[in-house]
């Protein structure tokens, strides 16, 4: 036992809530299910904060280095003396930070949903699913074993599926849920193969052992995995790339991003929790967890870098053209996660080299706050306007002052304007990119300008532009429970940048000295302000400037508007190629050969029995005759033939 054993409570409380609400919620707790879920999660969040305090300030450090502590470990399945699947809890800076982020954002979403989902028929079910998700996500970040993480990874996928499809009477929601599940599941296939490759060569499933074996240049396991190769690429690169494929699926990296915009069919608080702040950063978490191994393999890390950087730019361009506010936010999430990914990619191991690692997780931390704030703000707006389309909005600033102010703070934070949270983390990322790869740096700076533009396009379109024309009765800005999370998250988006993540979460556990270089910051901030001003001139009042620009860029604009036809390409590949070349022949074989054989056997039996059933005539003497003839022929057989 360890002083940290009580951490097990953090994931177990939401699990208990899930079971309680899932089994009995509808019958017994439908009115208090929200309060119940929120309360238990508040306890979890409180414990997380206590853990964070005690770990970062009291007893996490030994000789100035944060230690990895494993307070609980229970062997679940043993394959061989060395290989087993364990269920355990790991405490290190990374998991503690994730604990705080997940429980805190989840708590905010729970509180917000009290107002947003009020009067919903399946209110208790909604809270049960939220609890299930929180449990899985907490289990994921606390995993000690690569297989444990895989199980929770799938659980997270299931809860995401359930919540996207929460409004299952809408066909589009069902389609989106299926799409999200299938795409991430496909990516998880890569993850599973990656796990098998890595653990086969490292001969363990345990993270600690796996990392120590694959980073020790003397170990036979590292020798084995680097010398073994498939198609000219070492098994280490294959394993890591496939693991990254799983991460890219969950984190919506190009080209596995197609599910994320559609996932916005779910209730908006769910989008804030799952598809903005927590689940989608699981990929980043995974790469960060295996980071010591990734550092060993330049090829895999390069893939991470370029996929991240490309996704960041690609999503930012699409975000500029979308009109559904949640889709804009979805693409901006994808873009920001791209930032985190390439920050990991450009990072090195330890010390100043490890700036990218720290910057990535710092960005994950700040992004969780301002992005969930943006989504909750969007939720409040949608709650009022009953539409997702920004064409139906405009001039809402007078109707919803709190939402307006907090949304503005979040937009400033994501655009990277000092002193808001996003500024600090983005600066660290840009610095890391600048020192490592100039091309990535240029892409990142350009993307940050685009980010400012499309976020303020969104902001002005919702809150300024034309006069509000809300017709009929509306219920104002929403209940108190919807405003409180906005205010708290607004404060976080304002202040999270001052949290000294650099002292805590670094690639080697040693505090990293960081400093904001004013000269270096000028360019990105200037670009961000430029983007804001551009958005201001286009969208603050109703005018046709933006339409003119759009029509002058006609082809490119259309392509971006249609998300560069990635969905169509996927449809083409699945419908035309996979269905026709693999699906249909396989179906033919199944129908005609597998089923056909069985059907032939059945019908053959039927035909034969139809033919011979006349023998059973019911006439006793006929039977006796057959019997007698049988005896005679058997006797003849034994007497004359067999002897």
Q: Which of 442, 624, 636, 637 binds other proteins (CB under 8 A)?
A: 624
634 counts as binding other proteins under rule CB under 8 A: no
Helix (H) or strand (E) holding 72: strand 69-78
**Phi, psi dihedral angles at 90 (to 5 degrees):** -115, 135
- Rounded to whole angstroms, the Cα distance separating 401 from 423 reads 24
| Rounded CA separation 160/288 (Å) | 22
617 binds other proteins (CB under 8 A): yes
- Report, in Å, the least distance between residue 603 CB and other proteins: 19
Nearest CA to 527 out of 404, 416, 387, 399 is that of 416
Residue closer to other proteins (CB basis): 387 or 605: 605
Return the HEC string of 411-469. Answer: HHHHHCCCCCHHHHHHHHHHHHHHHHCHHHHHHHHHHHHHHHHHHHHHHHHHHCCCCCC
Considering beta carbons, is residue 442 or 629 the nearer one to other proteins? 629
Which window, 118-126, 146-154, 562-570, 611-619, contacts other proteins (CB under 8 A)? Answer: 611-619
| Tokens 């893939």 belong to residue | 303
Neighbours of 643 (CB within 10 A): 6
* Contacting range for other proteins; rule: CB under 8 A; set: 77-85, 306-314, 330-338, 612-620: 612-620
Residue from 217, 552, 554, 620 that binds other proteins (CB under 8 A)? 620
Nearer to other proteins, 588 or 628 (CB): 628
Residue 303: which of 354, 344, 335 has the closest Cα? Answer: 344
Q: Does 625 bind other proteins (CB under 8 A)?
A: yes
Coil/strand/helix, residue 375: helix
CA distance 215 to 205: 15
Binding region for other proteins (CB under 8 A) out of 173-181, 243-251, 357-365, 613-621: 613-621
First to last CA, the chain: 82
Stretch of 162-170, 253-261, 320-328, 617-625 lying at the interface with other proteins (CB under 8 A): 617-625
Residue choice 613, 640, 642, 643 for contact with other proteins (CB under 8 A): 613
Taking the least distance from each CB to other proteins, the nearer of 552 and 616 is 616
| Sole binder of other proteins in the list 471, 475, 619, 643 (CB under 8 A) | 619
| Cβ atoms of residues 102 and 130 within 8 Å | no
Residue of the chain from 80, 217, 552, 621 that contacts other proteins (CB under 8 A):
621
Q: Contact, 377 vs 371, CB < 8 A?
A: no
- What are residue 229's DSSP bridge partners? 234
Does position 611 interact with other proteins (CB under 8 A)? The reply is no
Least distance from C-beta 639 to other proteins, angstroms? Answer: 16
Stretch that binds other proteins, among 30-38, 192-200, 470-478, 618-626 (CB under 8 A): 618-626
Helix axes 220-227, 235-250, angle to 10 degrees: 80
| Residue 608 beta carbon to other proteins: minimum distance, rounded to whole angstroms | 14
Binding flags for other proteins, 565-604, as an x/- string (CB under 8 A): ----------------------------------------
Q: Which is nearer to other proteins, 64 or 618 (CB)?
A: 618
Total binding residues for other proteins by CB under 8 A?
A: 11
555 vs 618 by CB, closer to other proteins: 618
Q: How far is the CB of 625 from other proteins (least distance, A)?
A: 6
- CA atoms of 640 and 643, how far apart (whole Å): 6
Where on the chain is the footprint of other proteins (CB under 8 A)? 613-614, 616-621, 624-625, 628
């Amino acid at each position: 036992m360890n002083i940290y054993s009580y951490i097990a409570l953090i994931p177990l409380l939401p699990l208990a809530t899930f079971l309680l609400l899932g089994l009995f919620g509808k019958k017994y707790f439908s009115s208090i299910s929200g309060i119940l879920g929120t309360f238990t999660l508040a306890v979890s969040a409180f414990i997380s904060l206590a853990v964070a305090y005690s770990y970062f300030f009291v007893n996490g450090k030994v000789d100035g280095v944060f230690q990895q502590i494993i307070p609980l470990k229970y062997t679940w399945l043993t394959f061989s003396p060395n290989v087993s699947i364990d269920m355990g809890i790991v405490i290190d800076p990374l998991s503690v930070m994730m604990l705080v982020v997940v429980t805190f954002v989840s708590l905010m979403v729970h509180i917000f949903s009290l107002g947003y989902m009020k009067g919903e028929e399946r209110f208790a079910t909604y809270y049960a699913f939220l609890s299930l998700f929180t449990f899985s996500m907490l289990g994921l970040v606390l995993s000690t074993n690569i297989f444990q993480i895989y199980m929770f990874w799938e659980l997270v996928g299931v809860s995401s599926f359930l919540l996207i499809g929460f409004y299952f009477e809408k066909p589009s929601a069902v389609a989106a849920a299926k799409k999200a599940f299938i795409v991430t599941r496909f990516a998880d296939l890569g993850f599973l193969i990656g796990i098998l490759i890595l653990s086969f060569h490292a001969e363990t499933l345990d993270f600690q052992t796996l990392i120590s074996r694959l980073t020790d240049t003397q170990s036979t396991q590292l020798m084995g995995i680097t010398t073994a190769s498939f198609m000219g690429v070492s098994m280490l690169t294959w394993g890591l790339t496939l693991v990254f494929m799983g991460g890219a699926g969950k984190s919506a990296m190009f080209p596995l991003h197609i599910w994320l915009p559609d996932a916005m069919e779910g209730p908006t608080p769910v989008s804030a929790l799952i598809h903005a702040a927590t689940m989608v950063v699981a990929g980043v978490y995974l790469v960060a967890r295996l980071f010591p191994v990734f550092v060993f393999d330049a090829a895999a890390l390069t893939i991470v870098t370029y996929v991240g950087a490309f996704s960041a730019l690609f999503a930012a361009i699409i975000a500029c053209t979308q009109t559904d506010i949640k889709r804009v936010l979805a693409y901006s999430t994808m873009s920001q996660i791209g930032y985190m990914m390439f920050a990991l990619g450009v990072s090195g191991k330890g010390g100043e080299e490890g700036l990218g690692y720290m910057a990535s997780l710092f960005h994950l931390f700040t992004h969780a706050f301002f992005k969930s704030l943006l989504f909750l703000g969007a939720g409040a707006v949608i709650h009022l306007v009953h539409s997702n389309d920004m064409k139906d909005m405009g001039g809402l600033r007078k109707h919803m002052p709190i939402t307006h102010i907090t949304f503005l703070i979040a937009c400033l934070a994501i655009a990277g304007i000092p002193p808001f949270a996003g500024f600090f983390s983005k600066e660290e990322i840009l610095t890391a990119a600048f020192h490592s790869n100039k091309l990535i740096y240029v892409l990142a700076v350009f993307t940050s300008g685009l980010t400012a533009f499309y976020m303020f396009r969104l902001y002005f379109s919702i809150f300024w532009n034309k006069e509000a024309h809300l017709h009929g009765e509306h219920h104002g800005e929403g209940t108190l429970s919807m405003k409180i999370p906005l205010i708290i998250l607004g404060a976080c988006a304002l202040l999270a940048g001052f949290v000294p993540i650099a002292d805590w979460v670094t690639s080697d556990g040693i505090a990293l000295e960081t400093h904001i270089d004013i000269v270096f910051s000028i360019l990105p901030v200037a670009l961000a302000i430029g983007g804001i001003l551009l958005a201001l001139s286009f969208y603050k009042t109703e005018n046709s400037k933006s339409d003119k620009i759009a029509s002058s860029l006609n082809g490119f604009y259309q392509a971006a508007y249609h998300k560069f036809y990635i969905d169509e390409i996927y449809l083409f590949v699945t419908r035309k190629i996979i269905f026709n070349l693999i699906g249909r022949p396989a179906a033919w074989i199944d129908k005609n050969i597998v089923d056909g054989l069985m059907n032939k056997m059945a019908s053959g039996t039927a035909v034969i029995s139809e033919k011979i059933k006349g023998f059973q005539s019911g006439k006793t003497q006929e039977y006796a005759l057959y019997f007698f003839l049988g005896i005679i022929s058997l006797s003849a057989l034994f007497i004359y033939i067999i002897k």
